[in-house]
Amino acid sequence: MKIVISASEVVPFAKTGGLADVAGALPLALEREGAEVIITLPRYKAIKDSSFQIQRLKEDISYSVIGKNIKVYFIENDKYFNRDGLYGDKNGDYPDNLERFSYYCKRTLTLLKEINFKPEIIHLHDWQASLIPVYLKNIYLLDAFYKRIKTVLTIHNIGYQGLFPKEEFPKLGLDWSLFQIEGLEFYDKINILKGGMEFSDIINTVSETYSKEIQTKEFGFGLEGVLNKRRDSVFGILNGLDYSIWNPESDKFIAKNYSLKTIKDKYKNKENLQRVCKLPVRQDVPLFGIVSRLAEQKGFDILAEAVDTICRMKIQLVILGTGDLKYHLIMEDMVKKYPEVISLSLKFDDALAHKIYAGSDIFLMPSKYEPCGLGQLISLRYGTIPLVFKTGGLADTVNGDNGFIFDRYSKDDLIKTVEKAVAAFKNKKKLDSLINKAMKCNFSWDASAKKYIRLYELAKSR
């Protein structure tokens, strides 16, 4: 089967979040299943010739190879992509994001014909790639080359929809008739994700629970109606984890490799993390780790209310992440108040993230909603027990045997669950059992890739 993966971030070339992990790992797993895969990605400034083996194909197209033979085509356009950020800078989103990603989508489609790669499926991800089915169904279908191509849209987070003022509509090069309720119109604005949902053959999301949740008012961010209308085409496939990157036995970033058999060595990583984070080096206090965007979605609203109480519990807390300024400030205040308890790194740091997954005892991830979540999958593999709110992918992967889970989203329930985790930390039998169950969980890509192949077959039959 010939497949195109289109995503605005792909590991190892560009990453701001979980989308990149998925878009980097799924193609490799599909290739192992025998599929012929290519990827298209904007060429951002950080994708340098010197860091990756990049070859030139055309004036505006270069490529690299991952896996056995997966070509990753970089779409170049200095005006749009030769910038430090992927989507924005310290002032917020780039004001020309509509033009940037509409260009990316169009160039993806024209490129396929130029390189004569006629896929059965284009698997596109999130709003940045969502104009692909819109252009395909409304413009390119007239060309026989594109006639039989089917599209699968995976939504990684329905909270990000690509909303723009309607005055920008002419920049899309689409007929105004598409600016209507069955098209890209959404409360008098342009909604790019909605366009993708209206025109792709299959809509998929990254866990079964989330695929049901987003069909409700509470989680649908206004798009629940579109999803309800297309409910026969809505599916959920859990993300896998790339265990060649996330493996405590071979992880190059951590102080000491370990496995379930050599679990004692995990504690060398705890010591190392405490040193790196300038916290007192001690084994007898539970160390809670967070690697996350500092956003309400990730539970920072209840965490901000609860953190003072939590810091008084004889624990340590290491936080790595960036996000909303208000949470930066609240956590900075906590560091001033409890310098021996809490360590804060307001940055994106892959190496430190690995150290936190390995060195913490408990991974705190109380997301308000969570399409799939990778943090809990990584922490399970590292024997770092996840503490989560029961939602989306967290509900599908964490339970009382391998983690701590609460089902009423409130500051008090979070605090109670942290207390429960602290108690379990002191109960060796309970802790050993949790670690044992956690590390034996298997969320490899192979199982998920097989499900994707079945979904592509279904798309082909439509």
Q: d(Cα 120, Cα 38) in Å, to the nearest integer? A: 12
Q: Which residue is nearest to ligand ADP (CB)?
A: 18
Q: Does 21 bind ligand ADP (CB under 6 A)?
A: yes
Shortest approach of ligand ADP to residue 44 CB, angstroms? Answer: 17
Q: Does 366 bind ligand ADP (CB under 6 A)?
A: no
Q: d(Cα 409, Cα 407) in Å, to the nearest integer? A: 6
58: phi then psi, degrees, rounded to nearest 5: -140, 180
Q: Does 348 bind ligand ADP (CB under 6 A)?
A: yes
Residue number with CB closer to ligand ADP (286 or 373): 373
- Which residue is associated with the tokens 């059965």? 120
* Window of 108-116, 268-276, 347-355, 408-416 that interacts with ligand ADP by CB under 6 A: 347-355
Instruction: Please pick, from the candidates 43, 107, 137, 293, the single residue that binds ligand ADP as defined by CB under 6 A.
Output: 293
Q: Does 17 bind ligand ADP (CB under 6 A)?
A: yes
Q: Does 291 bind ligand ADP (CB under 6 A)?
A: yes
Partners of 226 in the β-ladder = none
What sections of 7-130 are H helices per DSSP? 18-32, 78-81, 97-114
Shortest approach of ligand ADP to residue 41 CB, angstroms? Answer: 17
Q: Does 125 bind ligand ADP (CB under 6 A)?
A: no
**Token couple for 198:** 């209206």
Residue number with CB closer to ligand ADP (208 or 350): 350
Q: d(Cα 151, Cα 431) in Å, to the nearest integer? A: 45
Q: Does 292 bind ligand ADP (CB under 6 A)?
A: yes
Count of chain residues binding ligand ADP (CB under 6 A): 17
Q: d(Cα 326, Cα 329) in Å, to the nearest integer? A: 5
Q: Does 324 bind ligand ADP (CB under 6 A)?
A: no
Computed on alpha carbons and rounded to an integer, the radius of gyration of the chain in Å comes to 22
* Window of 186-194, 288-296, 307-315, 397-405 that interacts with ligand ADP by CB under 6 A: 288-296
Residue number with CB closer to ligand ADP (54 or 441): 441
Q: Does 321 bind ligand ADP (CB under 6 A)?
A: yes
Q: d(Cα 248, Cα 218) in Å, to the nearest integer? A: 37
Shortest approach of ligand ADP to residue 349 CB, angstroms? Answer: 5
**Please, what sign has the CA dihedral across residues 45, 51, 52, 58?**
positive
292 Cβ contact partners less than 8 Å away, ≥ 6 residues apart: 298, 300, 319, 320, 321, 323, 365, 375
Q: Whose CA is closest to 6, among 75, 87, 59, 95?
A: 75
Shortest approach of ligand ADP to residue 130 CB, angstroms? Answer: 17
Residue number with CB closer to ligand ADP (240 or 321): 321
Shortest approach of ligand ADP to residue 30 CB, angstroms? Answer: 20
Residue number with CB closer to ligand ADP (126 or 198): 126
111: phi then psi, degrees, rounded to nearest 5: -60, -40
Q: Whose CA is closest to 386, among 376, 396, 401, 372?
A: 376
- Which residue is associated with the tokens 């995503």? 7
Instruction: Please pick, from the candidates 24, 196, 286, 373, the single residue that binds ligand ADP as defined by CB under 6 A.
Output: 373
* Window of 72-80, 160-168, 369-377, 403-411 that interacts with ligand ADP by CB under 6 A: 369-377
Q: d(Cα 379, Cα 354) in Å, to the nearest integer? A: 10
Residues 35 and 2 sit within 8 Å (Cβ to Cβ): yes
**Token couple for 167:** 């005055």
Q: Does 375 bind ligand ADP (CB under 6 A)?
A: yes
Q: d(Cα 87, Cα 338) in Å, to the nearest integer? A: 35
* Window of 75-83, 116-124, 346-354, 449-457 that interacts with ligand ADP by CB under 6 A: 346-354
Q: Does 183 bind ligand ADP (CB under 6 A)?
A: no
Instruction: Please pick, from the candidates 318, 320, 344, 424, the single residue that binds ligand ADP as defined by CB under 6 A.
Output: 320
Q: Does 349 bind ligand ADP (CB under 6 A)?
A: yes
Could you tell me whether strands 385-389 and 70-75 are parallel, antiparallel, or unpaired per DSSP bridges?
A: unpaired
Binding string, residues 157-176; x marks residues near ligand ADP by CB under 6 A: x-------------------
End-to-end CA distance of the chain: 16
* Window of 170-178, 213-221, 300-308, 319-327 that interacts with ligand ADP by CB under 6 A: 319-327
Q: d(Cα 276, Cα 259) in Å, to the nearest integer? A: 22
Shortest approach of ligand ADP to residue 21 CB, angstroms? Answer: 5
Q: Does 353 bind ligand ADP (CB under 6 A)?
A: yes
**Token couple for 215:** 């069909």
Residue number with CB closer to ligand ADP (137 or 156): 156
Q: Does 18 bind ligand ADP (CB under 6 A)?
A: yes
Q: Whose CA is closest to 44, among 68, 20, 26, 70?
A: 20
Q: Which residues form the interface with ligand ADP (CB under 6 A)?
A: 17-18, 21, 157, 291-293, 320-322, 348-350, 353, 373-375
